[in-house]
């Protein structure tokens, strides 16, 4: 029984009187209400997914239509500005390098085409591995309980205190270079804690749910209860958690790359920014070099944020506003 | 009348020790697993760089002994743990023979200052904005403006720092470009010094605040929505309490509880953002120390800084856990 | 003098399927000092109308027509006030006592602080000493010790105490009208009586009008002066409660009154046929279910003291376990279903200890024992259609011969409980009503044909008018399908009609046991007598007693102490019971 609302009055302007018909709802309100029928048609979700898909599209289409060998040094004239813009040397950018080049002649568009999906890849992979681990551990902790639960809980409490960046820094300082996949794996080691907690809490409360008890009475095996009864109802939470973890993973990865760590020979967005800062892009006013990757990063994060908010609204009807 | 159950305290202390222990172990083990033995590299570099320093041979020998570098791994491990617990991290390779602990000791106060200030400001602003996003009495304009501002969370703090620096320092000249305090100011416990510190710390702090407040706001929004649907919010309105009173004493007061726990955890996470901000503003904190150490491949410093940061986070978590029962009476009485 | 005047109120809720008329053209007046009851089932609009008077309708509901006038404001329409003006009206002129006080108090504030902030929100310049004095007085007025309770936090209070604190808050500014929204629905019968009597006393003392919202005809009969009967948003009958009980006019009112089973009244069940299908029999007379010295403790708390009984399944019976919350009745259900092992003793089903059997035998056990639980909504997995709950066990227990067979069996079971399979089976749980879902659970039990059924509060969350038909369905399981049933409930009246044997539990002890006519019709144990006295009967002549009576009863209960004596009122063939 929800009890809030600042207007209990009829929609202002409508004629009222004994026997009058209820006021007509505006067309906008009708559209909004229809939206509630299918919560998946949520503008935030759609925009967010759209933004992310455009990044993926950039990666796929870009490889088809643009020469990715241009990521290598000397592919073009150095310090070129984007098309139509003039750099400090008075040279005007050309279509040969629509987004300009960096200080060693690498084509920025090529860097982005390769780099942006790479950053997304790390985030998604780390989140997938982290979530799977989290689901497994969370279910085990919630279902089995007892000592196992204690161990898992303490372990996750401890690990959550350790910032992944630092361990990654230590790791890289010792090993030199690191591959994209390995970085993703390491990040995943720090991402499983919150899904574990989330799922454990859900499992603990679902264990007492009526339909779980009915399943037990129906002779269901533990496996059936976990995967066929509980898991489908967890999906909204899992999805939201997944997206949040993708964001955190990308942030961690970018944080590492911007420090000059991370994969040394593979283009990633963070690396491009690092190169820019370190090569004096600021002083030489090569704004496109660090600005456009930042923009892409921003697009990625905004997309993820929108999906997150959209999923929130799907799983929690109270958030939907008329 | 706060009676914190003894079992709760013991539990938290245990977690603290375990965290510190596992962190130290991780930091020690990871390099040891690498094919290139960084210890040898480190020593080599120290020997090379120490040529011009007196007694470098003696210093190196002492280092070898205290860390047991010629002994079997197990012994090395225990010596390492013992040294770490006494905050002895060895000597810096880049600034040989300065002890790492000394470098950290110089940088730590600045980081603590900057970090605490930014964290507190972010916490207050972020949570307040998150709450306002949900409150029914917030003017409509704000409800649109806040999520738009949250978009800034997407920007790496590096760039917000650059932007602020560009606008406020280079162009407008309102704030200084670099340093923790003015060039002609003497460090000391006086108002002049404190003022200078605040003045210099403002832009770095702001660049962190701008990009991290969104995280708090988002979390608070979710919590406030849950609280808004609770029965006590309903009764609060039925009692005819003033809306602002309900917002603070009924809604925020309840929603903020999980955020307080998250507050402590953020300390570790904040360092990532601070590293670059400190570098741009040449702020002599732990972030800059770490960055320079990465560049110089100064391994002992990297290890030392990492450990200290984890230690700080773990202690912060512990302290917050101690304080938590004071703000949530349900925990106070033994219920978990 | 009229305190509140509701004139032609209509309330609408826009939904994606069109506008729902939650309340249609309701008018009534509340005179000063008079108690009006709003009775109806879910969806009747009773709560919505009252909330409109508080201007606290849930968005997107709105009042499409009508006015509500509060006498204290002159002739102003409440609905036309500004937000700030309305805020000042709340608690001072109209106060609200919420449903289910479990969560209605701010968990981080002490009790007395929550009374103070109500006062401070409406009065300026009240000193601390004055606040303390007033909160102490109002807490005493509801029978709570202000020195102790005032300083406590809500989670330290029991349900009844929390509800009384909410009453205290509701009267601290002596409003003209109190709206009490199902204030006792989560409380057990004895506490309910105490709380209601307290409310009546307090209301009479300050001379306020009272609107009591509820669905329990008996509670209304004991607590209000006039009764408004609401159905689907319309006011179908209004008048003095005695008159309505004695001479109801509208058919719906008649239905509501007749759906409440009375102890000693006519039975709503069909009489048992002469030929009843046999239940479970063996050569050597192994009982169907046997508890040997079974007890359960959770840490330091004893939920159930050791007790034993034997249920012989040959002639199917219904055994009732009656008790309030905390009595141990749910624990017994859980033990019988094998959901938790007993701390002492053994639970034997068909001679086997159910906590010691192997995997294969476990499946057989599950096949032979089924249950119906309290919350029909929670028993269906919201992810699947409702037929999943029926198909899965049928197949799992190997009862299915083919897909068609499964479909046939489901449809037959639905029809047997009065449901149309075509309308119901392919739906999702949220698309069905509570009554339909509960019937489906009974149908499921029917399909699986167990030997034993545990029914744990099967009708307490179902609308009153449907209760007797669902109980009939359950009773048919015994009469027509030879299933023995253990019926766990807090409702003595239904236990009276449905069972062959009754045991009354209090704090984990069996305090009285025997045939229902003896135990419930003529109770001898103090506790049973107390229970019977505390039930609100929809009988005009029968009075509940004053608040002092209720308090005295509670004190007597406290005196019964830790080990109450068991009163045995006689065994029946096929069932024996002993404490210990």
Dump pLDDT digits (tens) for A308-318.
877 777 766 65
Q: Could you check whether the bond before residue C571 is cis, i.e. omega within 30 degrees of 0? A: no
Alpha helices (H) in B151-183, listed in sequence order: 157-164
> Tokens in use for C526?
């103090």
Separation CA C294–CA B246 (nearest Å): 50
Q: Could you check whether the bond before residue A93 is cis, i.e. omega within 30 degrees of 0? A: no
Confidence (pLDDT) at C274? 64
Residue of A nearest to B215 (CA): A305
Confidence (pLDDT) at A33? 56
> Tokens in use for B315?
């202690």
Confidence (pLDDT) at B246? 92
Separation CA B240–CA A118 (nearest Å): 55
Confidence (pLDDT) at A10? 37
Separation CA C337–CA C340 (nearest Å): 8
Report whether pLDDT(C447) > 70: yes
Which residues in chain B touch residue A160, judged by CB atoms under 8 angstroms apart? Answer: 265
Residue of B nearest to A309 (CA): B218
Separation CA C543–CA C533 (nearest Å): 9
The CA distance from C64 to the nearest CA of chain A, in Å, is 5
In this complex, do C105 and B232 lie within 8 Å of one another by their Cβ atoms?
yes
Which residues in chain B touch residue C112, judged by CB atoms under 8 angstroms apart? Answer: none
- Which chains form contacts with chain C, at 3 or more CB pairs under 8 Å? A, B
Alpha helices (H) in C175-327, listed in sequence order: 189-206, 217-223, 241-246, 251-258
Confidence (pLDDT) at A57? 84
Residue C527: exposure state from Cβ atoms within 10 A (0-12, 13-18, ≥19): buried
Residue of B nearest to C85 (CA): B240
Confidence (pLDDT) at B61? 73
Partnered with residue C7 across adjacent β-strands are C67
Confidence (pLDDT) at A21? 35
Mapped onto helix, strand or coil, the DSSP state of residue A12 is coil
> Tokens in use for C540?
């005009």
Q: Which residue has the higher pLDDT, B301 or A80?
A: B301
Cβ within 8 Å of residue C542, ≥6 positions away: none
> Which whole-number Å values give the CA distances from B73 to B35, B41, C150, C223, in the listed order?
15, 17, 63, 81
> Tokens in use for C270?
């069909």
What is the mean pLDDT of the segment spanning A277-303?
78
In this complex, do A219 and C367 lie within 8 Å of one another by their Cβ atoms?
yes
Which secondary structure element, helix H or strand E, spans residue C301, and what is its range? strand C301-311
Ranked by mean pLDDT, the top range of A68-72, A230-234, B311-315, C171-175 is C171-175
Confidence (pLDDT) at B203? 77
Say if C91 is an interface residue toward chain B (CB within 8 Å): yes
ipTM, 2 dp: 0.80
Confidence (pLDDT) at A62? 80
The CA distance from A17 to the nearest CA of chain C, in Å, is 7
Separation CA A235–CA A232 (nearest Å): 5
How are beta strands C301-311 and C289-298 bridged, if at all?
Answer: antiparallel
Select the residue from B306, B307, B317, B319 to test the A interface by mutation, using most A Cβ atoms within 10 A.
Answer: B306
Q: Which residue has the higher pLDDT, A192 or B60?
A: A192
Which residues in chain A touch residue C366, judged by CB atoms under 8 angstroms apart? Answer: 216-219
Confidence (pLDDT) at B80? 81
State residue C67 phi and psi, 5-degree precision.
-140, 155
Query: N- to C-terminal Cα distance for chain B?
Result: 18
Among C109, C156, C169, select the one facing B239 at the smallest CB separation.
C169
Give residue C41's pLDDT band: very low, low, confident or very high (50, 70, 90). Answer: confident
DSSP B168: I
- Tell me: the pLDDT tens digits for C397-430? 888 888 888 999 999 999 988 888 888 888 888 8
Q: Which residue has the higher pLDDT, B30 or C384?
A: C384
Confidence (pLDDT) at A147? 87
Report whether pLDDT(C288) > 60: yes
Confidence (pLDDT) at B159? 67
Confidence (pLDDT) at B171? 62
CB of C516 closer than 8 Å to CB of C495: yes
In this complex, do B240 and C91 lie within 8 Å of one another by their Cβ atoms?
yes
- Tell me: the pLDDT tens digits for C115-130? 999 999 999 888 999 9
Which residues in chain C touch residue A34, judged by CB atoms under 8 angstroms apart? Answer: 16
Give residue A18's pLDDT band: very low, low, confident or very high (50, 70, 90). Answer: very low
**Block mean pLDDT (10 aa), chain B, length 336:** 69 87 85 68 68 66 70 79 81 76 85 82 90 84 76 66 68 64 59 70 79 82 85 91 92 90 78 73 81 81 86 87 84 54
Say if A160 is an interface residue toward chain B (CB within 8 Å): yes
DSSP B154: G
Give residue C229's pLDDT band: very low, low, confident or very high (50, 70, 90). Answer: very high
What is the mean pLDDT of the segment spanning A54-66?
82
In this complex, do C98 and B238 lie within 8 Å of one another by their Cβ atoms?
yes
Select the residue from A170, A171, A308 to test the B interface by mutation, using most B Cβ atoms within 10 A.
Answer: A170
| Percent of chain C topping pLDDT 70 | 96
| Closest alpha carbon to C120 in C129, C112, C131 | C131
Ranked by mean pLDDT, the top range of A90-94, B34-38, C391-395, C527-531 is C391-395
How are beta strands C35-39 and C226-231 bridged, if at all?
Answer: parallel
Confidence (pLDDT) at B36? 63
- Give the distance, in angstroms, between the CA of residue C85 and the centroid of all CA atoms in the same chain: 37
Kindly report the average pLDDT of chain A as a whole number.
77
Separation CA C129–CA C552 (nearest Å): 33
- Which chains form contacts with chain A, at 3 or more CB pairs under 8 Å? B, C
Among A259, A282, A312, select the one facing B294 at the smallest CB separation.
A259
- Give the lowest-confidence range in A40-44, B268-272, C35-39, C67-71: B268-272
Report whether pLDDT(C227) > 90: yes
> Which whole-number Å values give the CA distances from A302 to A157, B154, C47, C408, in the listed order?
29, 6, 43, 53
Residue C159: exposure state from Cβ atoms within 10 A (0-12, 13-18, ≥19): middle
Q: What is the pTM of this model?
A: 0.80
């Amino acid at each position: 029984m929800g009890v809030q609302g600042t207007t209990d009055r009829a929609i202002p302007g409508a004629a009222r009187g004994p026997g009058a018909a209820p006021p007509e709802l505006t067309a906008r309100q009708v559209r909004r209400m229809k939206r509630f029928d299918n919560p998946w048609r949520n503008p935030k979700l759609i925009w967010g997914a759209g933004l992310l898909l455009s990044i993926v599209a950039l990666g796929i289409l870009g490889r088809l239509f643009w020469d990715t060998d241009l990521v290598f040094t000397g592919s073009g004239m150095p310090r070129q500005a984007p098309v139509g813009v003039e750099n400090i040397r008075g040279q005007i950018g050309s279509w040969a390098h629509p987004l300009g080049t960096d200080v060693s002649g690498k084509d920025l568009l090529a860097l982005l085409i390769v780099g942006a999906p790479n950053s997304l890849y790390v985030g998604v992979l780390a989140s997938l591995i982290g979530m799977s681990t989290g689901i497994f551990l969370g279910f085990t902790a919630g279902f089995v309980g007892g000592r196992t639960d204690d161990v898992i809980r303490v372990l996750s409490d401890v690990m959550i205190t350790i910032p992944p960046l630092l361990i990654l820094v230590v790791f890289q300082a010792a090993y030199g270079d690191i591959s994209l996949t390995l970085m993703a794996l390491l990040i995943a080691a720090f991402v499983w804690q919150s899904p574990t907690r989330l799922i454990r809490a859900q499992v603990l409360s679902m264990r007492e749910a009526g339909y779980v008890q009915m399943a037990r009475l129906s002779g269901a095996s533990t496996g059936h209860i976990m995967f066929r009864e509980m898991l489908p109802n967890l999906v909204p939470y899992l999805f939201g958690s997944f997206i949040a973890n993708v964001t955190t993973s990308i942030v961690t990865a970018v944080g590492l790359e911007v420090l000059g760590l991370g994969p040394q020979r593979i283009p990633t967005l963070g690396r491009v920014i690092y190169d820019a800062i370190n090569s004096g892009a600021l002083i030489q006013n090569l704004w496109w070099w660090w600005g456009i990757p930042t923009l892409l990063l921003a697009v990625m994060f905004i997309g993820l944020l929108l999906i997150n908010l959209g999923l929130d609204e799907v799983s929690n009807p109270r958030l939907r506003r008329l | 009348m706060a009676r914190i159950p003894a079992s709760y305290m013991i539990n938290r202390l245990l977690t603290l020790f375990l965290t510190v222990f596992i962190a130290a172990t991780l930091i020690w083990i990871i390099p040891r697993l690498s094919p290139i033995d960084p210890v040898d590299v480190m020593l080599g570099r120290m020997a090379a760089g120490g040529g011009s320093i007196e007694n470098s041979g003696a210093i190196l020998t002492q280092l070898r002994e205290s860390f047991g570098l010629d002994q079997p791994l197990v012994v090395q491990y225990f010596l390492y743990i013992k040294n770490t617990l006494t905050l002895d991290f060895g000597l810096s390779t880049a600034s040989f023979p300065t002890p790492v602990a000394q470098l950290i000791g110089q940088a730590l106060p600045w980081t603590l200052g900057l970090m605490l200030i930014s964290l507190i400001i972010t916490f207050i602003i972020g949570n307040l904005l998150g709450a306002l996003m949900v409150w029914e009495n917030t003017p409509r304009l704000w409800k649109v403006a806040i999520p738009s501002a949250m978009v800034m969370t997407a920007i790496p703090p590096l760039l917000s720092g650059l932007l602020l620096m560009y606008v406020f320092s280079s162009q407008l000249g309102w704030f200084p470009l670099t340093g923790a305090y003015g060039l002609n100011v003497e460090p000391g416990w006086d108002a002049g010094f404190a003022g200078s510190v605040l003045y210099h710390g403002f832009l770095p702090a702001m660049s962190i605040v701008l990009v991290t407040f969104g995280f708090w706001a988002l979390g608070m929004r979710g919590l406030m929505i849950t609280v808004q649907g609770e029965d006590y919010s309903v009764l609060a309105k039925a009692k005819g309490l003033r809306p602002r009173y309900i917002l603070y004493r009924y809604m925020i007061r309840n929603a903020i509880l999980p955020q307080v726990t998250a507050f402590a955890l953020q300390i570790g996470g904040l360092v990532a953002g601070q590293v670059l901000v400190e570098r741009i503003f040449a702020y002599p904190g732990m972030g800059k120390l770490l960055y320079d150490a990465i560049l110089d491949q100064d391994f002992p410093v990297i290890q030392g800084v990492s450990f200290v940061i984890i230690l700080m986070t773990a202690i912060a978590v512990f302290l917050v856990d101690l304080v938590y029962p004071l703000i949530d009476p349900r925990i106070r009485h033994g219920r978990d | 003098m009229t305190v509140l005047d509701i004139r032609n109120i209509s309330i609408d809720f826009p939904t994606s399927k069109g506008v729902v008329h939650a309340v249609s053209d309701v008018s009534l007046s509340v005179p000063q000092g008079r108690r009006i009851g709003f009775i109806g089932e879910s969806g009747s609009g009773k709560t919505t109308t009252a909330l409109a008077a508080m201007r606290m309708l849930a968005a997107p509901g709105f009042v499409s027509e009508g006015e509500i006038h509060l006498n204290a404001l002159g002739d102003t329409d409440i609905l036309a006030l500004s937000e700030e003006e309305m805020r000042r009206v709340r608690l001072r002129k109209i106060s609200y006592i919420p449903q289910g006080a479990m969560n209605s108090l701010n968990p981080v504030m002490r009790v007395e602080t929550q009374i103070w902030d109500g006062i401070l929100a409406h009065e300026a310049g009240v000193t601390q000493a004055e606040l303390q004095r007033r909160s102490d007085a109002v807490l005493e007025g509801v029978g709570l010790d202000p020195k102790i309770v005032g300083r406590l936090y809500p989670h330290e209070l029991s349900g009844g105490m929390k509800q009384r604190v909410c009453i205290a808050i509701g009267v601290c500014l002596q409003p003209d009208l109190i709206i009490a929204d199902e204030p006792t629905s989560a409380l057990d019968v004895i506490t309910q009586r105490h709380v209601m009597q307290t409310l009546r006393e307090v209301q009479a003392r300050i001379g306020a009008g009272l609107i009591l919202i509820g669905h329990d005809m008996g509670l209304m009969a004991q607590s209000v002066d006039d009764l408004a009967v609401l159905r689907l948003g319309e006011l179908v009958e209004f008048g003095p409660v005695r008159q309505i009980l004695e001479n109801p006019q509208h058919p719906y009112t008649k239905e509501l009154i007749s759906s409440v089973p009375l102890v000693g009244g006519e039975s709503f069940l069909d009489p048992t046929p002469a030929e009843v299908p046999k239940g479970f029999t063996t050569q050597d007379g192994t009982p169907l279910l046997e508890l040997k010295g079974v007890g359960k403790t959770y840490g330091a708390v004893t939920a159930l003291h050791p007790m034993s009984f034997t249920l012989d399944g040959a002639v199917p019976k219904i055994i009732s376990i009656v008790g309030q919350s905390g009595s141990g009745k749910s624990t017994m259900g859980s033990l019988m279903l094998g959901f938790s092992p007993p701390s002492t003793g053994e639970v034997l089903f068909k001679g086997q200890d159910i906590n010691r059997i192997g995997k294969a035998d476990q499946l057989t056990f599950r096949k032979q024992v089924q249950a119906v639980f309290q919350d029909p909504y929670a028993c269906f997995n919201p992810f699947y259609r409702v037929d999943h709950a029926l198909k899965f066990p049928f197949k799992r227990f190997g009862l299915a011969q083919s897909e068609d067979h499964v479909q046939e069996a489901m449809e037959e079971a639905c029809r047997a409980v009065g449901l149309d399979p075509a309308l119901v089976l392919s739906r999702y749980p949220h698309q069905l009503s509570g009554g339909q879902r509960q019937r489906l659970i009974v149908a499921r039990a029917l399909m699986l044909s167990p030997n034993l059924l545990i029914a744990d509060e099967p009708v307490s969350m179902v609308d009153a008018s449907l209760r007797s038909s669902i109980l009939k369905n359950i009773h048919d399981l015994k009469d027509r399908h030879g299933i023995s049933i253990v019926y766990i409930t807090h409702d003595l009246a239904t236990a009276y009609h449905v069972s062959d044997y009754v045991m009354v539990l209090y704090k984990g002890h069996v305090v009285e046991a025997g045939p229902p006519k003896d135990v419930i019709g003529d109770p001898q144990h103090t506790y049973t007598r107390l229970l019977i006295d505390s039930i609100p009967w929809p009988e005009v002549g029968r009075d509940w007693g004053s608040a002092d009576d209720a308090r005295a009863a509670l004190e007597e209960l406290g005196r019964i102490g830790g080990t109450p004596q068991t009163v045995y009122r006689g065994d029946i063939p096929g069932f024996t019971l002993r404490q210990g």
